Amino acid sequence: MTTPSRPVLGLNRITKRFAGLTANDAVTLHLDKGEILALLGENGAGKTTLMNILFGHYTADEGEVIVNGAVLPSGQPRAAIKAGVGMVHQHFTLAANLTVLENIIIGSEPLWRLDSRRAEARARIADIADRFGLPVNPDARVGDLSVGERQRVEIVKALYREAQILILDEPTAVLARQEAERLFATLRGMTAGGLSFIFISHKLHEVMAASDRVVVLRGGKVVAERKTAATNPAELAELMVGRQVARPSRAAHPTGKPVVEAKGLSVDERGKRELDAVEFQVCEGEILGIVGVSGNGQAILGRALSGLARPSAGSLTLQGTDISLLTPRELIRLGLGRIPEDRHAEGMVGELAVWENAVLERLHEPTFSRRGFVRRSAARAFAAELIGRFDIRGATPETRTRLLSGGNMQKLILGRNLAARPRFLLANQPTRGLDEGAIAAVHAELLAAREQGAAILLITEDLDEATALSDRIQAIVKGRLSRPIPSIRADARTLGLMMAGVWEAHDAV
């Protein structure tokens, strides 16, 4: 374990308010040179707000940020970068219409030097990607990348700028465990050279493995600080939520008839086969887990099931009805519920109020509309019900959805879907970015929906989540699916081999 030497960063009594809500309340903490500090807290506890103040995206109402003994000017990201502070954002800040190379070098080089520095930048990017185990294609258009691939680009971009203090806001939310372990091992090596890190994570095994010290926020205040070696995941989870947390367990449950079936399903996009003759079946009262490293076809599978991508071969049915050519609206009316991979681009409209997003996919129902007019009182009452049932923090029916934390947005999406009692629920990374208490609540809701007869397809990169919730599990590798195995056989070694594409040729479908 690295021994910290001198403080390189201090946050002194930082307070930030939004429309009467105190997001940070006199928060004080420090970061030592060569230290990895983990920042924990529930969704909406104020972690990301605090880091945005540090990086200059927000201006604190009170308090100051001190870097290497100098007070940092408020609200100036350029000043933070100049002082050696870098940030990997939880929500991507990449330009979708530019290449990976262009996204990384823009802002770090004068515009008139971009062309002349491309070869050098390409070499540096390749070196960083190789050393950190974060493969990126410099020529790929960011808009064509999966969520996991975009997260890798964000991390490479921050490392490219040679920050001395690096803020990592949920940096591994879309990385496989092996990738995350390699990343943190590399960061640990970098601390020997004097670099310092703050990382926000809800994955307690990462906190225990990677950090030197842990600071816990709750309700915008610092409620605890621990040396990592002197604590444990159970204590940290309890400190985060203020109570003991236990994830629910899956009980044996009979399954019914097939609800969704795919046979030889293939999808071609941009001249490339993205899904290759995949086959699966999800029955009433069953959770089928799909696991794999990000970028192996999960995104296109989710899009095909949501009506956003057209199959080029094979069949896709919902309770015997061919749905391969149906629109998202038609699928929702047939009983599809969906938790999309990208909650910002596909799950919510940030500028709309919470109540508007709550009923956005249910306006065809007479409960929420009549003669073309929205029944606002019913919609607001429904939103208030969701806020209470799913503990959506910092929200009222009138709150602009973009003001919610990522985790609370996710709970809103989950709530509006489960309240509709879907026949088939596509749960694509349903707990990404959620805290331990919220994960336990989401798992309980998914298992309750299973017991009520819903057919659930769970796409996840969290192997613990897959084995805890799924009745059967399949692995997706380069657009192909393995045959399913019962979750009782799905130990870490077996799933690891499946995700690496190691299965018998006659078992590949």
Please, where in the chain does CATH 3.40.50.300 lie? 7-241, 252-335+422-509
pLDDT of res. 436: 80
- 252-335+422-509: CATH number: 3.40.50.300
Q: What is the DSSP string of 419-484?
A: HT--SEEEEESTTTT--HHHHHHHHHHHHHHHHTT-EEEEEES-HHHHHHH-SEEEEEETTEEPPP
Q: Are 202 and 180 in contact (CB under 8 A)?
A: no
How open is the CA angle 149-57-167, to the nearest 5 degrees?
50
The pair of structure tokens assigned to 332 is: 């929702």
How far apart are alpha carbons 78 and 467 in whole angstroms?
44
Residue 444: CB atoms within 10 Å: 12
pLDDT in tens, the chain (509 residues): 555 456 899 999 999 998 778 999 999 999 999 999 999 988 778 888 999 999 998 999 999 999 999 999 988 988 998 898 988 876 667 888 889 998 888 866 655 555 657 888 889 999 888 877 778 899 999 988 876 678 778 888 888 887 789 888 877 766 666 667 777 887 887 787 788 999 888 788 889 988 999 999 998 999 999 999 999 998 998 898 888 777 888 888 889 999 999 999 999 988 889 999 999 999 999 999 999 877 788 989 999 999 999 999 999 999 999 999 999 999 999 999 998 887 877 888 989 999 999 999 888 889 999 988 999 999 999 999 999 988 888 789 999 998 887 778 888 998 999 888 899 999 998 887 777 888 888 899 899 999 999 999 999 988 889 999 999 999 999 999 999 999 988 887 888 888 888 875 445 44
How far apart are alpha carbons 353 and 51 in whole angstroms?
25
pLDDT of res. 432: 78
Q: What is the DSSP string of 147-188?
A: HHHHHHHHHHHHHHTT-SEEEEESTTTTS-HHHHHHHHHHHH
Q: State the helix-helix crossing angle for 147-160 and 118-132, rounded to 10 degrees.
A: 110
Among the four given CATH numbers 3.60.70.12, 3.10.129.10, 3.40.50.300, 3.40.50.10140, the one describing domain 7-241 = 3.40.50.300
How far apart are alpha carbons 113 and 120 in whole angstroms?
11
Residue 433: name the closest of 447, 416, 413, 456 by CA: 413
pLDDT of res. 506: 40
How far apart are alpha carbons 175 and 134 in whole angstroms?
9
How far apart are alpha carbons 338 and 428 in whole angstroms?
8
Q: What is the DSSP string of 342-382?
A: -IIIII--TTSBHHHHHTTT-TTSTTTEETTEE-HHHHHHH
pLDDT of res. 505: 41
User: Cα-Cα-Cα-Cα dihedral of 462, 169, 338, 471, to 10°?
Assistant: 10
Q: How far is CA 45 from CA 217, 242, 408, in A?
A: 6, 12, 11
How far apart are alpha carbons 212 and 229 in whole angstroms?
7
How far apart are alpha carbons 294 and 148 in whole angstroms?
5
How far apart are alpha carbons 51 and 23 in whole angstroms?
12
Q: Are 334 and 323 in contact (CB under 8 A)?
A: yes
- The residue type of 500 is A
